[in-house]
Amino acid sequence: MSRPNYNDTEKGILEVRSPQLAANPDLAKSEKKLADLTAFPVQSLKKDAPISSSNVAKPLPPPPKPQRMKISKYVIFITWYNSYRRFFTVITILNFTALGYAAAGLWPYGQKYPGALAVGNLNFAVLMRNEIFGRILYLFVNTCFAKWTPLWFRLGCTSTLQHLGGIHSSCAISGIAWLILMVVNQFKAKYIYHDSILAFGVVTTIVLLVTVTAGLPWVRNTHHNVFERNHRFFGWTALVMTWIFTILSNIYDSADGKWDRSGVYVVRQQAFWYTMGMSLFIVLPWICTRKVAVDIELVSPIIINSVAVIDGPRQPSPKVAVLRFERGMQQGLLARISRSMIMEYHAFGIISEGTHAKYHYLICGVQGDFTKGLVNDPPREIWTRQLKFAGVSNTSTLYKRGIRICTGTGLGAALSTCIQSPYWYLIWIGSDQEKTFGPTISGLIHRHVGPERLLLWDSKERGGRPDTMKVLKEVYDYWQAEVVFITSNYVGNLEIQHGCKALGIPAFGTLWDF
């Protein structure tokens, strides 16, 4: 099958090939610290060799049960009150303070143009979730501030980029609040407004409230498909309603009760251009949506989707499906895939050897209906957005050295960073990794991540999980890292973040929808 001629801009332009590590005298002084890891020996892979009991460090007796670190209430609070919630707090307070002044008649602009403030807030809410805008922000930060700026500044950049969702949520809620103020004011003076304007004002508000409700944390985390369908389709409906409401409100002259304002007058209004911008931000990412060929590697002695899956002990298990797509990618990107063009999209971390590579891969843990369907009924083609969106790992280029710690399928979001940069150390904790994830993934590790910056922990072979914070602290000191990126489940992510905060280690964990 010939390779499609993809546009290079879809890959990203910050290609990093892995050079040889430069000699670092400070690391030489830390060799003893590496030896201190004997309690948790580095189960590294020999280059160009498969994992097996013969070439992997012999497992020690089951490790003692890790003692829980005592975490102060301050650490718990400061971890919870992250940049997302800080953005949310500041923007919501500013908007509602301004709204209060407008409602009290103390701010003439807000009293006269609540519709423009409503649509303006909604415009920013949509912009924060736009993949193109996100990629531009990441590109700007990575290009301008990598390595030379103070560490606190770079950490702030990563935190800001990771938590843009706080701006999204606060602007959405504030926009609805301004819309409610506008509708209430219209009903107070309903004798000068046409009934259709009042009706569309109410309908638009209700549809937006349903859209926001569908995006609440408990809906996103426990009923993802409900969130996807309702948040998206009610959001699109709200956009149509906003257009109608904006146009009706501006072409109707309440002074004489006639629809006599010209189109030129409508185009000159702020609300019109805010709504136009919001429409563009929503439509643009969908222009990049394509149906592409996919190869799926599963446990089977037969050929699946043109990929021969080898029978034997090195097969991946049904717990994981490894998806392979054409073309390479820069590190730190995530892909959204779906069986339908407009229905539920699921995000997975992209594994790639670089933009020069022939393929990129997704690791899909077989848990929900969507991923089970990849095993039970493997597709030959799948829908995806060709312009991938950036994750927190994309800011790894800001740092001189770092650690990527992950558990299980979290490797999917972590491995590219360690493959494409020799300055990142990989800690992967899992169970029976070779059999679970198969030869494709282990082969990528063998070829690109040297034993000097790799720690694999097989909890099945070693009889339990390690004292994660002890291992992480020792590697952090040895590697002289500036930051730690975490990809784990909710509990594991929180425990590591608490531990890092208590030890003064800069760390960023998995984002959970809230």
Clarify whether residues 283 and 294 are in a common domain.
no
Span 82-95, average pLDDT: 96
Residue 376 sits in a domain whose CATH number is: 2.40.30.10
Clarify whether residues 377 and 501 are in a common domain.
no
**Cα–Cα separations (whole angstroms), residue 273 to 133, 181, 243:** 18, 20, 11
Clarify whether residues 442 and 479 are in a common domain.
yes
The number of domains in the chain is 3
Clarify whether residues 233 and 100 are in a common domain.
yes
User: Residue 37: what residue type?
Assistant: L
Confidence band of 66 (pLDDT split at 50, 70, 90): low
Q: Look at residue 156 and tell me if it is in a domain.
A: no
Question: 177-224, pLDDT tens digit by residue?
Answer: 999 999 999 999 888 888 999 999 999 999 999 999 998 888 887 887
DSSP string, 63-123: PPPPPPP---HHHHHHHHS-HHHHHHHHHHHHHHHHHHHHHTT--HHHHH-HHHHHHHHHH
Q: Of 356, 390, 424, which residue is a domain's last?
A: 390
Report the distance separating Cα 266 and Cα 248, nearest Å: 9
Clarify whether residues 356 and 433 are in a common domain.
no
- Cα torsion 366, 312, 428, 373 to 10°: value is -10
Question: How many CB atoms neighbour CB 128 within 10 A?
Answer: 21
Local structure of residue 396 (DSSP, 8 states) = G
Closest of 37, 18, 9 to residue 444, by C-alpha: 18
Q: What is the 3-state secondary structure (H, E, C) of 446-495?
A: HHHCCHHHEEEEEHHHHCCCCCHHHHHHHHHHHHCCCEEEEECCHHHHHH
Local structure of residue 258 (DSSP, 8 states) = B
Distance of CA 185 to the CA centre of its chain: 39
Owning domain of residue 500: 28-74+392-508
Is pLDDT of 21 > 80? no
Clarify whether residues 265 and 317 are in a common domain.
no
Distance of CA 220 to the CA centre of its chain: 14
Closest of 345, 106, 367, 70 to residue 229, by C-alpha: 345
Q: Look at residue 220 and tell me if it is in a domain.
A: yes
Clarify whether residues 315 and 234 are in a common domain.
no
Clarify whether residues 299 and 271 are in a common domain.
no
Please, where are the H alpha helices in 215-325?
A: 217-222, 224-251, 263-267, 270-287
Residue 467 sits in a domain whose CATH number is: 3.40.50.20
Clarify whether residues 259 and 178 are in a common domain.
yes
**297 token code pair:** 């590697």
Confidence band of 100 (pLDDT split at 50, 70, 90): very high
Question: 299-357, pLDDT tens digit by residue?
Answer: 443 333 434 343 334 444 467 889 999 999 999 999 999 998 888 888 999 999 999 99
Clarify whether residues 412 and 320 are in a common domain.
no
Closest of 392, 389, 438, 432 to residue 408, by C-alpha: 432
Q: Look at residue 404 and tell me if it is in a domain.
A: yes
Confidence band of 401 (pLDDT split at 50, 70, 90): very high
Clarify whether residues 358 and 450 are in a common domain.
no
Q: Of 258, 287, 316, which residue is a domain's last?
A: 287
Exposed (0-12), middle (13-18) or buried (19+): which is 4, by Cβ within 10 Å? exposed
Clarify whether residues 115 and 230 are in a common domain.
yes
Return the SS3 of 305.
Answer: coil
pLDDT of residue 70: 85
Question: 404-433, pLDDT tens digit by residue?
Answer: 999 999 999 999 999 999 999 999 999 888
Q: Look at residue 369 and tell me if it is in a domain.
A: yes
Please, are residues 11 and 355 in contact by the beta-carbon 8 Å criterion?
A: yes
Please, are residues 241 and 200 in contact by the beta-carbon 8 Å criterion?
A: yes
Q: Look at residue 446 and tell me if it is in a domain.
A: yes
Q: Of 254, 271, 287, which residue is a domain's last?
A: 287
